[in-house]
Amino acid sequence: MQNKLMIFMGFSAVISGCSMAPDYQRPAVELPQAWQAAPAQGQGQNMPADRWWTLYQDGTLNLLVEEALVYNQDLALATARLDEARALARIADAQLVPAVDAAFQRDRTRRSDSTATRFPGALENNNYRTQVNVSYEIDLWGKLRDSAKAAQSELLATTAARETVRIAITTSVVQSYYALIALDAQVDATRRALALRQHDFKLQRVRADAGIINDFSLRQLEAEVAAAQAQLPALESRRSSEELALGVLLGRSPRSLLQDTVLRNAANAAPAAPVVPADLPSALLLRRPDIVTAEQQLIAANARIGAARATLFPSIGLSGYLGSESAALSNLFSGPASIWQLGFGLAQPIFQGGRLFGEIDAVEARQRQALAQYQKTLQTAFRETHDALIGQVRAREAFDAENSRVVALTEALRLARIRFVNGLTSQLEVLDAERNLLNAELNRADALRAQRSAVANVVKAMGGGWTGLPGADSAPAQAQSAKATP
């Protein structure tokens, strides 16, 4: 009997054949061979994909990013969704193999002794039954395999979606961290300017009391002191909000958000090294997790079409059991007690009121939606990458200009003070030089933040770090099939 069951199941596997899903082909994409607007400079040849933020060479930042990767709730949510998708894929795969279960049953019954028909034998009887049940649906039209393929593609899409969240979180931590450092620098610059103006105001008030300067000059200096005092609360408020935002990214508790200070290292005032290697291949962009997600969703939608079409055709189910049944437990496994059954069932939809055709139309429409979403995601990715590459260059140029401006205005303020002390100019010139220098220092701090943020935007737009250009490491093998034009 066991041989019969094996032959039975083997035959079922052989006749499970074709798929009703359309053959999937990646949509043709016209890609430039390289980013022509990207200058041949910067790092990138050996940027680690899993720890790209180490390019900033900031140990404090490394610790904060690692903390976020452990405790951030958005990443925890994405991980839970990935676990769910993995379980659903396992469930879909389980439909491709026979379902086997075992059962044991013990019954005790009593017949009536008061009926019109009387049977010989005891009124009370025991019955024991044990059996192994097997059931299997022959996937003749590929419905189950297409469903499993769709579930597997959705698992890959969810995996890529989690990587998208991971990249977004690490980028946000880097940008928030350097925004906090920039605000620290702006607060410090404003406090230094305020202290200097307060010191000058005290000296000038003594001179005004002595009649050396007029009240107009004193009031001008007093107004500059008030202007610096007015700037300080706004900067401190922004710094506090940024620190709380960074704490949330790190996944800290409400108590920790209010009581603990986020560590930062402001000792490194140099801009981040650019990440624009020479001859950057545009096909590298196809490794972006959001593009991978969109394509896997398209593959899943394509497979769902096959599963929906297969419902129009007969479904064939096979079942059987092998066991034994006996009135006495001691005879349960004897030869005469053996039992078995083989079953064959066929179901063919005849009239469903158009429901099945409606379901096919629905999944085909979802496939077209997934195709449009893939094309849109690809277009958005190229736009973001182009903007990020240009933005990185322009941000560095802006920082260099602001830095030169601070150097020039620092010297201008020194000369203005000398001229004022020697009576060659008025106090107004000194006030203008101080005001211009403070604004320049504030702008330089913000320009440094923007430059560091622009580097992170390039990495984010590229879908994370990379390990080599060009070649097998620069883009996934599947990207090589995309259509490329110069």
| Residues 45, 50, 54: CA angle, nearest 5 degrees | 70
Q: What is the DSSP string of 289-315?
A: HHHHHHHHHHHHHHHHHHHHHHTTS-E
pLDDT band at 33 (very low <50, low <70, confident <90, very high): low
Q: Convert the pLDDT of each residue in 327-386 to its tens digit.
A: 887 777 777 888 888 888 888 888 888 998 999 999 999 999 999 999 999 999 988 988
| Residue 273 neighbours by CB distance under 10 Å | 15
| Residues 371, 377, 378: CA angle, nearest 5 degrees | 95
Could you tell me where the DSSP H helices lie in 52-142? Answer: 59-71, 73-94
pTM of the predicted protein model: 0.82
Phi first, then psi: what are they for 17, rounded to 5°?
-130, -105
Burial 241-257 (b: 16+ CB within 10 A, else e): ebbebbbbbbbbeeeeb
Give, rounded to a whole angstrom, the gap between the first and last alpha carbons of the chain: 67
Interhelix angle 215-249/427-461, nearest 10 degrees = 20
Are the beta carbons of 464 and 167 closer than 8 angstroms? yes
> Looking at residue 7, what is its pLDDT?
53
Domain 2-107+129-481 listed as CATH 1.10.340.30: no
Q: Are strands 99-110 and 338-347 parallel, antiparallel or unpaired?
A: unpaired
Strand partners, 343: 319
Q: What is the DSSP string of 443-462?
A: HHHHHHHHHHHHHHHHHHHT
Q: Convert the pLDDT of each residue in 313-331 to its tens digit.
A: 888 888 888 888 888 877 7
pLDDT at 196 over 70: yes
> Looking at residue 3, what is its pLDDT?
55
Give the Å distances, CA to CA, from 273 to 165, 177, 276.
Answer: 25, 17, 9
> Looking at residue 46, what is its pLDDT?
56
Q: Which residue has the higher pLDDT, 92 or 332?
A: 92
Q: Convert the pLDDT of each residue in 244-260 to its tens digit.
A: 999 999 998 888 888 88
Q: What is the 3-state secondary structure (H, E, C) of 253-296?
A: CHHHHHHCCCCCCCCCCCCCCCCCCCCCEHHHHHHCHHHHHHHH
> Looking at residue 292, what is its pLDDT?
92
Q: Which residue has the higher pLDDT, 199 or 116?
A: 199
For residue 300, which amino acid is it? A
